[in-house]
Amino acid sequence: MDSDADPLTAKTPVINLSAGENDMTWDAGINNPAAPIGALGNYVWYDQDKDGLQDPNETGVPGVTVTLYNASSTPIRSAITDQNGFYSFPNLAPGSYMVGFSTLPPNRGFTIPDAGGDDATDSDVSTNIVLGAGDIPLSGNIPFVTLVAGEYNPTLDAGLVVQFPTSVTMLQANAILQGNVTKVSWTTTDEKDVNNFTIQRSTDASNYQTVAVKNAKGNTNGQTTYSILDNVVELMELPVIYYRVIANDIDGQQSMSNVVSVRPLQGDDAVQIYPTPFTNEFTIAYPSADDGILSVTLTDVLGNIITKKTKEIVSGTNTIMIDQLNSLAKGTYFVKIVNETSGEQYIKKLLKK
């Protein structure tokens, strides 16, 4: 057994490691009783399979701030993990030390500590874990270790795992009537341990019944869109049908979407748009049960917004005019009407002549 560490800096020469490699052959000996300096370190890595172990295919995490605390929990030094995820605190007198990790990459938490029974290949962060928004850790510490004279302890490691905010960050629903079938679609952002979705329907916006259950992807980074079809042939005489989507987590936690609606009856108490096709302008007659805010967005078939208007509405029928459309090219457009107060949405295809 040799010693690779420089006795003054307690650093080894530059070691070239390929991604994920954790070279255990670099050791620091205790062969210099005249200058018994200690050191500790040394690794922060992505624990991709979340087993708490440093596996050969897993890579280091650069840029993590590591803080060294003395026996009275006072921070005395800090370091940043290098491009391979390594850090070290050389030149340490014998004593008790604690190491903390902060400035983690976005949406990362700490993996399970002390897995597998080998301190050289596990993660040790288990105390002082400070949680931020969405219960995602901001920082966490390894419990105190004692360094004897000249000891080098490279086993103080931190494994990071993907951790998204609880449930889903956002659950946005939409509904559109296609003949006798409602297409209910919804978009999630950053799912975390979502089991499935319950799609519910109501005819009075108060009592809901489940009409479908759809399995979730479970864990996602970014947006995912789902949809189901609901046959409403027996409900076509109703003025309005409401829907909502509930995300069910594995642990039973739930998140609910906005309420959306479709209006099978294009009668007196439903949204009317005239004239269609339109030329320079069209008017929307929107019956509302309550006071609120209505937004109207006109888009082309690609979803590009032509114009958007917002208006305060009152209980009863409200009209809102979209004008100055003369210069618009002939063709198909969509108008999306959203009751910003109740969450109801209504989408209608329009023709410009």
CB of 69 closer than 8 Å to CB of 79: no
> Min. distance of Cβ 17 from Ca ion in angstroms?
12
Q: How far apart are the first and last CA of the chain?
A: 87
> Min. distance of Cβ 251 from Ca ion in angstroms?
23
> Min. distance of Cβ 119 from Ca ion in angstroms?
4
Closest residue by beta carbon to Ca ion: 155
**CB-wise, 45 or 208, nearer to Ca ion?**
45
Chain mean position to CA 333:
33
**CB-wise, 40 or 240, nearer to Ca ion?**
40
**CB-wise, 127 or 207, nearer to Ca ion?**
127
| Chain contacts with Ca ion (rule: CB under 5 A) | 42-43, 47, 49, 51, 53, 55, 114, 119, 122, 124, 154-155, 157
Q: Measuring CA to CA, which residue among 50, 61, 43 is closest to residue 119? A: 43
**CB-wise, 33 or 117, nearer to Ca ion?**
117
Other residues' Cβ atoms within 10 Å of the Cβ of residue 57? 8
> Min. distance of Cβ 232 from Ca ion in angstroms?
49
Q: List the 38-46 sheet strands across, edge first.
A: 86-92, 38-46, 152-162, 108-110
Tell me the CA distances in angstroms from 281 to 131, 223, 287, 301, 326, one per residue in order: 53, 35, 20, 18, 8
**CB-wise, 46 or 286, nearer to Ca ion?**
46
d(CA 173, CA 87): 46
CB of 308 closer than 8 Å to CB of 293: no
> Min. distance of Cβ 154 from Ca ion in angstroms?
5
**CB-wise, 42 or 272, nearer to Ca ion?**
42
Tell me the CA distances in angstroms from 269 to 32, 191, 232, 265, one per residue in order: 91, 38, 19, 8
The phi, psi pair for 158, rounded to 5°, reads -130, 120
> Min. distance of Cβ 177 from Ca ion in angstroms?
49
Per 3-state DSSP, the chain is made up of helix, strand and coil in percentages (nearest 5) of 0, 50, 50
**CB-wise, 82 or 312, nearer to Ca ion?**
82
> Min. distance of Cβ 149 from Ca ion in angstroms?
21
